A and B are shown apart, each in its own frame.
Chain A
C-alpha cells in the first residue's frame, strides 16, 4: 500500500495512533490489549501475530518485524516517544491558563445568602 498523497494520509478514516496513545500502550498492557481487541485477527497481516507497539504496526512475519526494529523509522519513533506527549494542558499553560477547581470561600457564600434572606 503506497500512499504518497498527503491529502489522503490525513483523512480521518486513515487515522493512525497518536503519540500519546502509543505512550499509554507502552505504559499499560491493558490499554494495548483493548486496542488490539478492536480488530478481528483474520483481517490483520498473519493473524496479527507480529505487532510493533512503538510504531503501532502489524507485520507479515517475524523477519519483517525484526528488520523493521533495526530500521531508521523505528529508531526515530523510539526517540520521539522518550519525551512527554503534548497535551491540552500544556497548550493552556503556554498562555498562563491554569485550572481552578476550588469552591468559592464559604464566608462569601454565606454573606450572599444572608443578603438574599434579608431582601425577601
Chain B
C-alpha cells in the first residue's frame, strides 16, 4: 500500500481516496479528488493553475531549495524490516518535519516582507487619482460640528455644499500638478506646493 501523489495538484492521495484513470496506453493518472480529475479531463495545464503545487513551485511561492526536502523519496527497492531502523526513521520524520515547518515559516515571512509598504503605496495612488470621489466632509467632522457648534443637519449639509471645510487631497512624492473635475462640475488644482521642488529636481 502506498500514498500516491495526485497527478494534478501533488496532494497525497491516500488509499481509498480519489480516482485513478488508466489511459489506453497503460499510463496511470492518480487524482486526489474530483476537482483534479475534472480539470484533467478539460485538458488544463497544471503549470498554469495557481492552486497546484507545480505552479507554486515554478512561481517561487514555496521553499524548493532546502536540505529538509531531500529526505522524502519514492523507493522501489524493498528494504528488509528492521525494528530499530523503523523506530529511528519515525523519530527522524518528526524532527525533520518540525525543522521544515520552521524554515517554511521563515521563507513565507521573507517572501511577504515589504507587502505592507506596497499596499500603502497602492492606496495612496488610489486616493490621489480618485480623490474627487471622496465625501467632501468626513462623518467625524460632521459629528464634531453638530456637537461643538450645535449645527442642524441642514446647516451642515449647506456647509458641505459650499465646500468650506473640504480638505484638499495631498499630493505625494514627485507627482505633477493636475486638475480635477469634480462630479458637480467644479475644477480643483492639486499639487501646487510640489511645483518648486519639481524644478529643483530637474536642475
User: Interface on A for B, CB 8 Å cutoff?
Assistant: 6, 9-10, 12, 15, 18-19, 21, 80, 86, 88, 90-104, 109, 112
Contact = CB atoms under 8 A, between A and B. Distances in A.
Given A10-B42, A109-B80, A94 B23 contact: no
Contact of A99 (B47, B53, B54, B74): B74
Contacts of B21: 12
Contact of A104 (B47, B64, B76, B79): B79
Given A10-B41, A88-B5, A94 B57 contact: yes
A28 to B, nearest CB: 13
A91 B57 contact: no
Contacts of B52: 94
Contacts of B79: 104
A107 B103 CA distance: 35
B73 interface: yes
B54 A90 contact: yes
Contacts of A104: 77, 79-80
A88 B29 contact: yes
Contacts, number: 77
Interface in B26-56: 29-30, 38, 41-43, 45-47, 52-54, 56
A10 B7 CA distance: 17
Contacts of B54: 86, 90-91, 94
Given A19-B43, A97-B74, A100-B75, A92 B10 contact: yes
Given A99-B74, A112-B80, A86 B29 contact: no
B92 interface: no
B56 A94 contact: yes
Contact of B72 (A21, A86, A91, A96): A96
Interface residues of B, number: 35
Interface string B58-79: 0000001000011011111101
Contact of A101 (B9, B46, B77): B77
Interface of B: 5-10, 21, 23, 25, 29-30, 38, 41-43, 45-47, 52-54, 56-57, 64, 69-70, 72-77, 79-80, 82
A98 B42 contact: no
B77 A94 contact: no
A96 B71 CA distance: 9
B7 A88 contact: yes
A90 B8 CA distance: 10
A99 B23 CA distance: 23
Nearest to A95: B10
A97 B74 CA distance: 7
A97 B43 contact: no
Given A18-B23, A92-B5, A96-B69, A86 B76 contact: no
Given A6-B42, A94-B56, A97-B72, A102 B77 contact: yes
A8 to B, nearest CB: 11
B74 A100 contact: yes
